[in-house]
Amino acid sequence: MSVAQSATSVDADGQLRRTDVRNIAIIAHVDHGKTSLVDCLIRQSGVFRENQTMQTCLLDSNDLERERGITILAKNIAMMWNGVRINIIDTPGHADFGGEVERVLRMADGALLLVDAFEGPRPQTRFVLQKALQCGLSLLVVINKIDRPDCRPDEVLSQTFDLLVELGADDKTLDFPYIYTSAREGYATHDPASKGGDIRPLLDMVLQKIPGPVVRPDDPLQLMVTSLEWSRYVGRIATGRIAAGSIRTGQQVAVMRANGVKTMAKVEQVQLYDNLGRSNTAEAAAGDIVAVTGIPDPEIGDTIADPLTPVALERIAVDEPTLAMKFTVNSSPLAGQHGKFVTSRNLRDRLFRELQSNVALRVEETNDMEAFKVSGRGVLHLAVLIETMRREGYELSVGKPEVIIREIDGKKCEPYELLEVDVPASDLGPVMEMVGSRRGQAKVMNSTSTGMTHVEFSIPARGLIGLRTKMLNATRGEAIMHHRFEEYRPVEGEIPHRLNGVLVSQEGGKAVAFALWKLQERADLFVNPGDEVYEGMIVGENSRDNDMVVNPIREKKLTNMRTTGADEAIILRPPRQMTLEAALEYIEWDEYVEVTPQVIRLRKTLLTETERKRLSRSKGI
């Protein structure tokens, strides 16, 4: 008797299901508590001793994830509860990483939809819920953060029901089970007024309400590769759920690749997820989520099948990217001082390697042999890739983000986003003016019980570039904004560009305090005294709308003459420090962000003033 036959049952629809396995994905908007809930479930499962110190956000193991406080990559763990293996998939909540959500939902049979008990459904809640409904997942709604003093769980539950109706859910889905939790405090309850206890009610509800996977144990092997890892010891590790049959260590398999290509391979090792890691197993059956080694060059979407009767599963399809940037080699005079990988060949190899695991990314070669067009879901999506490459030792220059224009029915169309802003009522005016100037149109406006005003806009994706920083400045950091892709519409008119010009260095060397002191009267500076600068590097923002060429390395001339005002005290304002995302949103079409492992600089694409003037004349500017 096979593993699958020993723990299966036939459901009301006549489908054969595993009863000893549950595969669930945890989906939600950013910061609604997905990873914290996973921590709580791990603690309840007994993986750690009661007196053992446990760090928070265990699955956010990436340095970038811990620094930013968000989940970037989807991750798998497994835990045992009442004799049932629960495979849990933690997913990102930010809209820019929606591709991660789309690919891993194929492994799940049910989804825990987390909704903040105060904020309610947000833009990404709609996105992940829509994808879960398309995959036919069973829903379990979890109203999280009921320990907040301003929570409104019943109202949020009603809003979630309205969202499901709006998305066209069927009657069975609308009769969804729900539970209230506080992931931070570690309890779940069916009554929001009763606070305390542990998380067991949620685990019990998962076993009761989320069905086991539908299996075809007697059919030939079919396993869809949905994620990839790499190990220096065994090479690439392909992860996916077995849809039919079983897989064994040492088994010969056929790998069904894109375009119908079939290659043969031998499985070296099969592993099941076990708590926070994986454990070796001789055989895994239909319904299990497994990690397989020994497959040469697997790609996401490949099907590992039986060699005698190979049948490919439908490949994973994700939404197309909406934003593109130019990635090119670092050609500044200071190139190569900090990075290990500086050539176009290094850059090309790294970008095409990223395509193997980042399904929402697109890389195209351009007419320039040293430049590549990289497309993604948003500025953050591409900024995380750039930051990862920077920490790996790469040097590169990146151009201004541009939206991807498509031709639909003979018309040029651009992506539109649904922008949601929560802002104090006193700051509503500047927000409306700012979004309106970027061709945003208000669709919904209402006041909340906390004194905030909630506004929903439809805005071109072009208008979002650089908007977050300006809005936070205008509202003293109190505005909260989220956005998601809405649809493609005909291209609107121009959107205002940066109002101020920049200060461009005309010499190379080290910045001098005396020169910067003279410049700060008419500019906000980006450099400190002693920083290396070069011709064409941007050293500050001009107070006027034109670019100005300056000399930041000019020293004070020494003479034998003494005057009363000769030795004035030099007091410099602190320079403006830009994050990578802020720099990407700041630059214009004729500028680059220079990225190295230690420094982020701004520069002109053409370094000499003569070349820039020649380009301006040719464009008639």
Q: Over 147-162, what HEC string results? A: CCCCCCHHHHHHHHHH
Confidence of residue 621 (pLDDT cuts 50, 70, 90): low
Average pLDDT of every residue of the chain: 86
Range of the domain at 416: 406-490
101 or 62, greater pLDDT? 101
Amino acid 51: pLDDT? 44
Predicted confidence (pLDDT) per residue in 500-522, tens digit: 999 999 999 999 998 999 898 88
Question: 221 with 247: CB under 8 angstroms?
Answer: yes
Q: Cα-Cα-Cα-Cα dihedral of 354, 357, 358, 363, to 10°?
A: 40
pTM: 0.84
Tell whether 599 and 525 lie within a shared domain.
yes
Tell whether 11 and 28 lie within a shared domain.
no
Tell whether 31 and 80 lie within a shared domain.
yes
Tell whether 525 and 484 lie within a shared domain.
no
- Strands 502-505, 548-550: pairing is parallel
Residue 349 lies in a domain: no
User: Shortest CA distance to 290 belongs to which of 300, 301, 302, 278?
Assistant: 278
Tell whether 169 and 274 lie within a shared domain.
no
Tell whether 558 and 482 lie within a shared domain.
no
Tell whether 432 and 536 lie within a shared domain.
no
Query: Rounded distance, CA 496 to CA 437, Å?
Result: 7
Token pair 């208000």 in the structure block, residue: 442
Amino acid 47: pLDDT? 58
For the chain, the domain total comes to 4
Token pair 């603690």 in the structure block, residue: 43
Residue 266 lies in a domain: yes
Query: Rounded distance, CA 292 to CA 313, Å?
Result: 17
User: Shortest CA distance to 485 belongs to which of 15, 191, 96, 138?
Assistant: 96
Confidence of residue 54 (pLDDT cuts 50, 70, 90): very low
CATH of the domain at 605: 2.40.50.250
Confidence of residue 365 (pLDDT cuts 50, 70, 90): very high
Tell whether 72 and 146 lie within a shared domain.
yes
Tell whether 46 and 183 lie within a shared domain.
yes
Confidence of residue 480 (pLDDT cuts 50, 70, 90): confident
Tell whether 56 and 107 lie within a shared domain.
yes
In this prediction, residues 105-111 reach a mean pLDDT of: 89
Residue 418 lies in a domain: yes
Confidence of residue 61 (pLDDT cuts 50, 70, 90): low
Query: Rounded distance, CA 359 to CA 352, Å?
Result: 11
In this prediction, residues 390-412 reach a mean pLDDT of: 93
- Residue 129 pLDDT > 60, yes or no? yes
Question: 99 with 377: CB under 8 angstroms?
Answer: yes
Amino acid 348: pLDDT? 94
Tell whether 24 and 47 lie within a shared domain.
yes
Least confident range of 36-50, 185-199, 304-318 = 36-50
Amino acid 101: pLDDT? 82
What count of other Cβ atoms lies within 10 Å of the Cβ of residue 540?
26
- Residue 569 pLDDT > 80, yes or no? no
